[in-house]
Amino acid sequence: MLAELACFERPCRARFPIDEAIYNCPACGGLLEVVFTEEPSEADAWKELWRHRRTSNQAIEQSGVWRYRELLPFDGHHHQVVSLREGNTPLLDAPRAAQYGGLDRITFKHQGFNPTGSFKDNGMTCGVTQAMRLSRSRVACVSTGNTSASMAAYAGAAGLDSIVFIPHGNISYGKLAQALEYGARTFQVEANFDQILALVRVLADRLGIYLLNSINPFRIEGQKAIIFEMLDQRDWNPPDWIVLPGGNLGNTSAFGKALRELCRFGLIHKMPRLAVIQAAGAAPFYQFMKKGGEFHAVAEPKTLATAIRIGDPVSWPKALHELTVTNGAVEKVSEQEIADAKAVIGQCGIGCEPASASTLAGIRKLTESGIMRADEDVVAVLTGNVLKDPDYIYRYHTGELKDPDGGKVEPTLGNRPVVVPNDADAIAKMLDR
């Protein structure tokens, strides 16, 4: 549909053309969002159209993002789409995880099945397509790892130069390896995510590089498709809760916006509640939502779930709005809780990276406190693939995992590899026990 950029701040609401390369409102500095400027006449027919597209062999229809392009702001530019067949991620039942979380049933929407192994691909296909629309040749981001892997891949596919900035020593090797392999110029900066974001914004302005952090409203547009696809897979029956990890809070913003649009256009008639889970050592949004008052950044965020090691999340005003609209909840979880929940998800044959496991850890706390009921219909979004951070897995299972303060994370569900002699009798004896 036809669209514009609008300032997210209600007192301002200034409007800008959709092809203006801005990341904040030039009038008041607020966040920007995409708004549609026309009312669809055929929204009723979309569900059938989207279902029908799943049977097509055309690249754009095979994408679990672009299949829903009626709700994306790219009219007239579909020939410029850069896609790696993102989305199409499964809904998985996990009875053991449900039991651990205090629920009768849980479904995971596993974004780790994406081309680069995280939910960032849903947004990046739109971000890089917007770079093409704007005829930009260079794109950049700061990242805790997944955004950089995704941007590098999509820029590579589009033939653009990509420049990645990451906090030195604080991203997993799986993610760093992806950025290198996909050909991004990679800078490891001696600073944390929040500090590097400020640096990259200055550089992007000075050098005319297109910035692809989640402050970029087109990334948020693509991430809406996680919700569109989830509801399509559920025959448009909204769950009671959608649970996700919170870092920079871009995904929370995207999920809320997607749900609002589906309600507005009559595609769903009930609003699920969003539950955002943060790591206790990087939980500024949790603190803010619990205490109210001003938003205070955490100066030195700490967590082994490095994907969500963010102390000053840029999208908090949007996330506040979306949690209010959806009557949502926030929770925080410890390193031990994340590690154990992650091992449970692994035992279900599913697996995920540490940040993703905060969802199940959070659900366990939300059911314990009675905020979430056992019989409620819950979808938890696993944001990244199990192989993103193998070092963490090995350390947990062998009892070597230390929290950021040097304390031991107990291998509650540890599963150590065993060294054995090359001797059938000896091994048979061990297996008989």
Over its C-alpha atoms, the chain yields an Rg (Å, rounded) of 21
162 binds ligand F0G, rule: CB under 6 A = no
Instruction: Give the H/E segment covering residue 58.
Output: none
Establish if 117 lies at the interface with ligand F0G (CB under 6 A).
no
Q: Does 328 bind ligand F0G (CB under 6 A)?
A: no
Q: Does 143 interact with ligand F0G (rule: CB under 6 A)? A: yes
Q: Is 359 in the site for ligand F0G (CB under 6 A)?
A: no
Measure Cα distances from 325 to 18, 116, 270, 271, 355 in Å: 26, 32, 12, 9, 25
Helix then strand count (H, E) for the chain reads 15, 13
Structure tokens at 48: 């059938």
Identified binder of ligand F0G from the candidate list 63, 129, 248, 359, rule CB under 6 A:
248
Minimum distance of ligand F0G from residue 380's CB (angstroms): 12
Pair 184, 83: CB distance under 8 Å: no
CB of residue 68 to ligand F0G, shortest distance in Å: 19
Site for ligand F0G (CB under 6 A): which residue of 30, 64, 101, 384? 384
Name, in order, each residue with C-beta under 8 angstroms of 274's C-beta and a sequence gap of 6 or more.
241, 242, 243, 244, 252, 255, 256, 259, 322, 323, 326, 328, 329
Beta strands in 82-171 (DSSP E): 91-93, 107-110, 138-142, 161-167
> Which listed residue (308, 372, 380, 393) binds ligand F0G by CB under 6 A?
308
Binding residue (CB under 6 A) for ligand F0G from 87, 101, 145, 362: 145
d(CA 174, CA 1): 38
Strands 329-333 and 161-167 come out as unpaired
Least Cβ distance, residue 409 to ligand F0G (angstroms)? 19
Choice between 1 and 229, CB closer to ligand F0G: 229
Closer of 130 and 147 to ligand F0G (Cβ): 147
129 contacts ligand F0G (rule: CB under 6 A): no
83 touches ligand F0G (CB under 6 A): no
First-to-last C-alpha distance (Å) of the chain: 65
Quick one: 170 or 347, whose CB is closer to ligand F0G?
A: 170
Question: Could you tell me which stretch among 234-242, 245-253, 257-265, 414-422 binds ligand F0G (CB under 6 A)?
Answer: 245-253
d(CA 185, CA 201) in angstroms, rounded, equals 17
d(CA 198, CA 223): 23
104 DSSP 8-state letter:
S
How far is Cα 15 from Cα 34, in angstroms, rounded to an integer? 10
Q: Which stretch, 48-56, 248-256, 343-351, 409-417, contacts ligand F0G (CB under 6 A)? A: 248-256
Our finding on whether 211 is near ligand F0G (CB under 6 A) is: no
Nearer to ligand F0G, 89 or 147 (CB): 147
* Angle (CA) 346 426 396, round 5°: 25
DSSP state at residue 89: P
Beta-strand pair 91-93/185-189: unpaired
Per CB under 6 A, the list member of 33, 86, 121, 353 interacting with ligand F0G is 353
Nearer to ligand F0G, 98 or 308 (CB): 308
Query: What SS3 class is residue 142?
Result: strand
Binding of residue 301 to ligand F0G (CB under 6 A): no
* Nearest approach, Cβ of residue 384 and ligand F0G (Å): 3
Size, binding site for ligand F0G by CB under 6 A: 23
Any contact of residue 221 with ligand F0G (CB under 6 A)?
Answer: no
Q: Which of 62, 89, 114, 118 binds ligand F0G (CB under 6 A)?
A: 118
Residue 326 binds ligand F0G, judged by CB under 6 A: no
Query: Of 84, 184, 242, 249, which lies in the binding site for ligand F0G, with binding defined by CB under 6 A?
Result: 249
Q: How far is CA 327 from each of CA 107, 135, 280, rounded to the nearest angstrom?
A: 21, 41, 22
Least distance (Å) between residue 375 CB and ligand F0G: 27
* Closest CB 317 distance from ligand F0G, rounded Å: 14
192 near ligand F0G (CB under 6 A): no
Residues 6+ apart with CB under 8 A from 430: 418, 420
Q: Which of 156, 250, 281, 362 binds ligand F0G (CB under 6 A)?
A: 250
Pairing of strands 378-382, 241-245: parallel
Least distance to ligand F0G from the beta carbon of 164, Å? 10
Q: Which residue's CB is nearer to ligand F0G, number 12 or number 297?
A: 297
Hey, how many other C-beta atoms are within 10 angstroms of the C-beta on 161?
Answer: 15
Residues in touch with ligand F0G (CB under 6 A): 118, 120, 143-147, 214, 245-252, 307-308, 353, 355-356, 383-384
